[in-house]
Structure 1
C-alpha cells in the first residue's frame, strides 16, 4: 500500500510531538513530591546509611517487596538519588535485573555503570574480575531492580563477586516475590503496601488537576475521587489514570472511565494491565501503531528517541 509523503511526514510529526509532550509532562511532574512514601523512604535511607544497620559483617542487603505497580522502583529511585546517599557512597550502581536472571548480563551492566562505557568482555570470570578491580576499597550502593530468580546458584555468582567490598557497602533489591527475599538472605525486608485513600486522592489530584482551572477542578472532583478510589491504592494505576484524565477535560469522558467495564475484569484483582489498557485505548489510531512498535525492544531497554524515529521511518 503506497502512502503519500505528506501523510507519512504528518504521522512522524504527530508521533514525535506526542513524545515531546509526554517528555515535558514527565519532566514537570518529576519535581513533584511522591505522595505517601515519606516514612518508607526514611526507613530505607536509615538502612542504607547505616543508622538502622545491626549487621557487623557480611554483605548487607536491603529489599523492597510488593506486588506490581506498588511503587518499589520509585521508592528505590528516591533513595538512590537522595543527596545524602550520593555523598555517602563512593560508587552508585543501578541494574535492571528482570527475568531471566543472567549473571553475565548483570555483571556486564555493573561494569558499564562503574566505567561509564560499554563493556567489551564476554567471559563471566573476566567480567567478575573487572568488577572486583573497580570496587576494590570503595564503598558502593548496588541497586538490583526487579529480581525474579529463586535460584541461589545464579545469585551466588554475583554475590561472591561483590563480597570483596569496603565496609559500609549496600545492596538494595526490589522484588515481587517473598521467595526471592529468602533466597538472597536479606538483612532487612521492607514490605510496601497500598496507599491510603487519602494518599491515593492526593496523588491523583496532584497529577490530574495539574494546571486545570478552579472551576474545572470543582466540576470533576467528585468523579475523580471515585476513580482514585477504584485504583485500590496502587500508585502505578493512579499515575496512569491520572495522566490519562489530565488530558481529558470533558465530564462525559471522565464518566466513561468511571463506568468502564475494565474495573470488573478478574485480572484487575491480581494485575494492573487492565488499567494500562484504558490509557492505551485513549490513544489515537496513529499513536497506537507507533506505541505498539516499541514491543520490538527488550524489557528495561533504554530507547533512544532518534533511533526509534528512524526505525519508524524504515
Structure 2
C-alpha cells in the first residue's frame, strides 16, 4: 500500500472522531450500553493518531511499520462500519416504534417489549461480538505501536523523501509548443490597458506538469519584457509560504546583495525603497497558499512601484488565482500531440523525431499516449528511456505505472502527489474514491456527489444539505485542477489520465476497478481490504469484449457496486450490465 493510504487514514480518523463525539451518536451508545467501549476507542485512537506522521515516514524503510499501518487502516474502517451499524439500528428501532405505536392493538403492548424483537436481539448479540473483537485488535495495535517505538510528532513531520528543488528563472533546455502561450502572456505584460494600473497581478493556472513554470521562464527572459521593466525578480514560493523568506528573496533579487535581516518590517521598508517609482516585474512561481491575509501582507511594498508594474503567478489552484489576481486567469492547456512528441523524443533520443530509430516509433507513440499532453510526463518518460534504444525496455515502460518508475529520474509523482497532499482531509477520501472511474470516463457533478453521499464520504456541517456540501467538495476539486470540463460537453467532467493514476495511487488497495477482466473460467482474487468496487463493461454494436474493437469506438458503462469481503469474485457478470 502506498504512503497516500496513511494520509487517507488520517482523514478517516477525523471522521471517526466526529461521529464518536456527536450528540446523536452519544444517545445511541448510551441506549446500547456501549459508552465505556466507545470512550476507550476514542482515547486509544487519539494516541495512535499522534504517531501517524512518524509511521508514514518509517514505513518506507520498515516492513513491520508498513504491516502495522495496514492493520490499523483495516481496524479504522471496521470501527466506522460498526458506528454506521449503530446508526442504522437506531433508525430501524425508531421506525418500528413509530409503526407499532400507530397501531391501536399494539398500543396495549408495553414499549419495552416492542424493542425486544428477534432483530434487536440478533443485533445485540452480533454487535457485542464485534465490539469485543475491536477491543482486542485495538490493544494489539497499541502493543505493536509501543514495540515499534513510534514517536508522537508534536512538531510536525520531518520529510525523509527527496526534497523538491526550487525553480529558477533560467529556461531548461528546448521548449516546444508554447510560442502562442508565450506571446499571449507577453502581450498581457505589455498591454496598454494595464499600463496605467498601479499594479497588475496575472495568474497562470493549470494542473501539475503542464509547464506553467517553463512558460513563466520563457516570458521572464523574453527580449521585449527585458526592455519594458526597470527591475525583475523571480521567487519560487512553493508550498512553504513564508512571508519573511519570500520578501527577503525578492529584495536580494532586485539588489543582487545578500541580506541577513529577518525582521519583516525592516525587509518591507527596504523593499519599498528599492521598488519606489520603478516599473517592475515579479514572478511568484508555484503558489499554493490561498490565505487572503497572507497575500495582503506580502503585497504591501509592491504598491509603491510605478504604474505598469506586474506580478505573474503560477498556480494549480483557481482559488489562489481569484485571491491574488487582478486580471482573468490564463488557463494553460495541454501540449499538442506534435509538441509532446518533440519533448519526448528530444529527451529519449536527442532528436525531435524517430527518424534515426524507426523500429521504436510504433511503441514510442504508445508510450507517448500516456502523457496526454503533459510535457513533464513526456520529459520524464523520455528521460527514463534516454540512451536505451531497446524495444523490450520501451515495452516495460509502456506497461509500467508511472509511479513505479525510477524516482531519481521521475518528477511526475512528486509534482502530482503534492497536489494531493495539499487537499483538505475531507477531500482526500472523496478524490481517492474517484479511482473507480475508468480513464476518459465523463461524469456529471450530481452523479459523483450522489456516489459520495451513498458511501458516507461527506462530513456533515451543521444543517447544510448534503447535496450542497457535496457540490462544494466537487467545485473545490475542480478549482484545484483534479477535474476538467469535457471538451465534448461542458456539462460533463473528466480526469486527466495521470490524475486518474494519482487517484489509484491515493486509494491504494481500498478501491478495485474491474474492466472486462472477467470471462471464461477465470477466478479473480480480490483483496479482503477492498472497500469500494466498480465494474466497467464495454459494448459496441453487439460486441462486448473491449479488445474486439478500436479504442476510439468503445462505449463503457460504469457501475460502483457493494462488495462483501469474501476475497473472491468468480464468473461475476451482473445481468443489469449486459448490453
Provide the TM-score with structure 2 as the length reference: 0.40
Compute the RMSD of aligned alpha carbons.
2.4
Task: Please give the residue correspondences for 1:271-290 in structure 2 after superposition, counting only pairs within 5 Å.
Answer: 274=403, 277-280=404-407
Extract structure 1 runs of 4+ deviating beyond 3 A: 53-56, 211-216
Question: Are residues 1:37 and 2:164 paired?
Answer: no
Residue 292 of structure 1: aligned partner: none
| 8 Å contact kept, 1:241–1:279 | no
Residue 175 of structure 1: aligned partner: 315
**1:160 Cα deviation after fit:** 1.6
| Structure 1 residues 136 and 105: alpha-carbon distance in aligned structure 2, compared to 1, 3 A threshold | same
Question: Are residues 1:136 and 2:136 paired?
Answer: no
| Structure 1 residues 55 and 214: alpha-carbon distance in aligned structure 2, compared to 1, 3 A threshold | closer
**1:78 Cα deviation after fit:** 0.3
| 8 Å contact kept, 1:102–1:154 | no
C-alpha distance in structure 1 between counterparts of 2:253 and 2:408, whole Å: 37
Residue 357 of structure 2: aligned partner: 217
**1:159 Cα deviation after fit:** 1.3
Residue 20 of structure 1: aligned partner: none
**1:237 Cα deviation after fit:** 0.6
| Structure 1 residues 122 and 72: alpha-carbon distance in aligned structure 2, compared to 1, 3 A threshold | same
**1:203 Cα deviation after fit:** 2.1
Provide the TM-score with structure 1 as the length reference: 0.71
Aligned with residue 120 of structure 1, among 253, 260, 263: 260
| 8 Å contact kept, 1:36–1:195 | yes
Aligned with residue 347 of structure 2, among 207, 216, 219: 207
C-alpha distance in structure 2 between counterparts of 1:216 and 1:188, whole Å: 44
Residue 101 of structure 1: aligned partner: 241
1:86-145 deviation digits (Å, cap 9, x = unpaired): 111111100011123121111011111112122111111100000011112211100000
| 8 Å contact kept, 1:200–1:229 | no
**1:281 Cα deviation after fit:** 7.1
| Structure 1 residues 106 and 240: alpha-carbon distance in aligned structure 2, compared to 1, 3 A threshold | same
**1:242 Cα deviation after fit:** 1.1
Aligned with residue 85 of structure 1, among 225, 231, 238: 225
**1:163 Cα deviation after fit:** 0.7
C-alpha distance in structure 1 between counterparts of 2:407 and 2:290, whole Å: 33
| Structure 1 residues 213 and 195: alpha-carbon distance in aligned structure 2, compared to 1, 3 A threshold | closer
Residue 430 of structure 2: aligned partner: none
- 1:155 partner SS: helix
Aligned with residue 256 of structure 1, among 377, 396, 407: 396
| 8 Å contact kept, 1:240–1:279 | no
1:19-61 deviation digits (Å, cap 9, x = unpaired): xxxxxxxx9x9453x211111110000011225x447434201
Residue 466 of structure 2: aligned partner: none
1:213-272 deviation digits (Å, cap 9, x = unpaired): 977511111111111111111110101111221221211111111111x15xxxxxxxxx
C-alpha distance in structure 2 between counterparts of 1:228 and 1:116, whole Å: 42
Residue 193 of structure 1: aligned partner: 333
- 2:307 partner SS: coil
Shifted more, 147-156 versus 55-64: the winner is: 55-64
C-alpha distance in structure 1 between counterparts of 2:236 and 2:352, whole Å: 36
Residue 50 of structure 1: aligned partner: 191
Residue 228 of structure 1: aligned partner: 368
| Structure 1 residues 97 and 31: alpha-carbon distance in aligned structure 2, compared to 1, 3 A threshold | closer
Count of residue correspondences: 241
**1:188 Cα deviation after fit:** 3.1
| 8 Å contact kept, 2:194–2:308 | no
- 1:106 partner SS: helix
Gaps of 5+ in 1: 1-26, 264-273, 284-314
Residue 291 of structure 2: aligned partner: 151
Gaps of 5+ in 2: 1-169, 411-579
C-alpha distance in structure 1 between counterparts of 2:213 and 2:409, whole Å: 26
C-alpha distance in structure 1 between counterparts of 2:182 and 2:289, whole Å: 25
- 2:202 partner SS: strand
| Structure 1 residues 218 and 241: alpha-carbon distance in aligned structure 2, compared to 1, 3 A threshold | same
1:170-190 deviation digits (Å, cap 9, x = unpaired): 100000100001111431310
